[in-house]
Amino acid sequence: MAWSITDVVRMSGVTSRTLRHYDDIGLLPPAYVAGNGHRYYEEAQLLRLQQILLMRELDVGLREIQAVLDRQADRVSVLREHHARLLAEQDRIGTLARTVARTIADLEESEEEEDMVRINRPENLFEGFQPDPEMEAEARERWPAAYEESRRAVAGMDPATTEEWQREATAQMIRFAEFMAAGTPADDPAVQDLVDAHHRGVRRFWTPDAEAYRGLAATYAEDPRFRENFDRIAPGLADYQRDAMAVYADARLS
């Protein structure tokens, strides 16, 4: 018996996008692909998916999971390595908890203000956060050259440099929010100077052309994972910065 990707999504709760990604990386190929391009899964694939989800619950990475399932690594050894990483994560989780607590306090304080646009001012909105594995996988698939360039840049950053960059990124977002709150048009020279500083910051990791920079701007506004961070500072900020970046891309990168 075979089940369509829609059936597997309904049974497992895993998104079709995730299943396609698992297929792309060789972690969970379907049993076969029909002539119309639809993927179908049989019992063996469902059992493999069950094991994948179990190890994902334990926060084991996809590479480690694939090694276990392909019998290239002993499951106990992989879990021991993962346990060591979890212990090392304790300090980072503590930092993350303090960051969230500070953001809550800032939001509660901002609710007492009467400004039409409230601007939250965390010192470092990104402190303690790690890259989203799903977003990393998507970036690696869509922009392989840019992903490798960015990965090498990040690998060369020590903790102090990383924290400095995170604080500057937060400060830039706040300055954009201040322009937005003041009603400054996205194409104003002062706003465009700030976009230029943002573009220079991006170039520390990869060098986007006009199309790529417009794509990054659209991602800020359209991807809920990005938009949430912007909205923590000021509602509507993602759209405002997207528009400012699009102006910059058209004027200076085209």
**Is the same domain home to 224 and 123?**
yes
Give residue 73's pLDDT: 55
- Tell me, what DSSP letter sits at residue 41? E
DSSP annotation string for 154-169: HHT--HHHHHHHHHHH
Mean of all residue pLDDT scores within the chain: 77
**Is the same domain home to 119 and 236?**
yes
Q: Residue 168 and residue 194: Cα distance in Å, rounded?
A: 12
**Is the same domain home to 22 and 107?**
no
Residue 29 — very low, low, confident or very high, per pLDDT cuts 50/70/90?
Answer: very high
Residue carrying structure tokens 């304080």 = 109
**Is the same domain home to 42 and 161?**
no
Q: Which two tokens stand for residue 185?
A: 């048009």
Q: Which two tokens stand for residue 172?
A: 């830039």
Q: Residue 9 and residue 18: Cα distance in Å, rounded?
A: 10
pTM of the model: 0.47
Give residue 23's pLDDT: 93
Virtual CA dihedral for 20, 18, 223, 202, nearest 10 degrees? Answer: -80
Give residue 183's pLDDT: 86
**Is the same domain home to 123 and 187?**
yes
Q: Are 251 and 189 in contact (CB under 8 A)?
A: no
Beta-carbon contacts of 123 under 8 Å, excluding residues fewer than 6 positions away, are 102, 167, 170
Whether residue 107 has pLDDT greater than 90: no
Q: Which two tokens stand for residue 153?
A: 């840049």
**Is the same domain home to 59 and 183?**
no
Give residue 89's pLDDT: 63
> In angstroms, how far is the first alpha carbon of the chain from the final one?
53
Give residue 247's pLDDT: 96
Virtual CA dihedral for 99, 102, 103, 104, nearest 10 degrees? Answer: 120
Residue 196 — very low, low, confident or very high, per pLDDT cuts 50/70/90?
Answer: very high
Whether residue 181 has pLDDT greater than 80: yes
Give residue 207's pLDDT: 82
**Is the same domain home to 62 and 166?**
no
With a pLDDT cut of 70, the percent of the chain lying above it is 66
Q: Are 64 and 73 in contact (CB under 8 A)?
A: yes
**Number of domains observed in the structure of the chain:** 2
| 207-248 pLDDT, tens digit each | 888 888 898 888 888 888 788 878 878 888 899 999 999 999
Give residue 129's pLDDT: 43
Q: Within 10 A of 34 (CB to CB), how many other CB atoms are there?
A: 11
**Is the same domain home to 179 and 245?**
yes
Give residue 130's pLDDT: 46
pLDDT (average), residues 145-153: 62
Whether residue 62 has pLDDT greater than 60: yes
Q: Could you list the residue range(s) of the whole structural domain that residue 60 is in?
A: 3-72
How do the residues of the chain divide into helix, strand and coil, expressed in percent and rounded to 5?
A: 70, 5, 30
Whether residue 105 has pLDDT greater than 60: yes
Q: Under DSSP, is residue 126 helix (H, G, I), strand (E, B) or coil?
A: coil
Give residue 127's pLDDT: 46
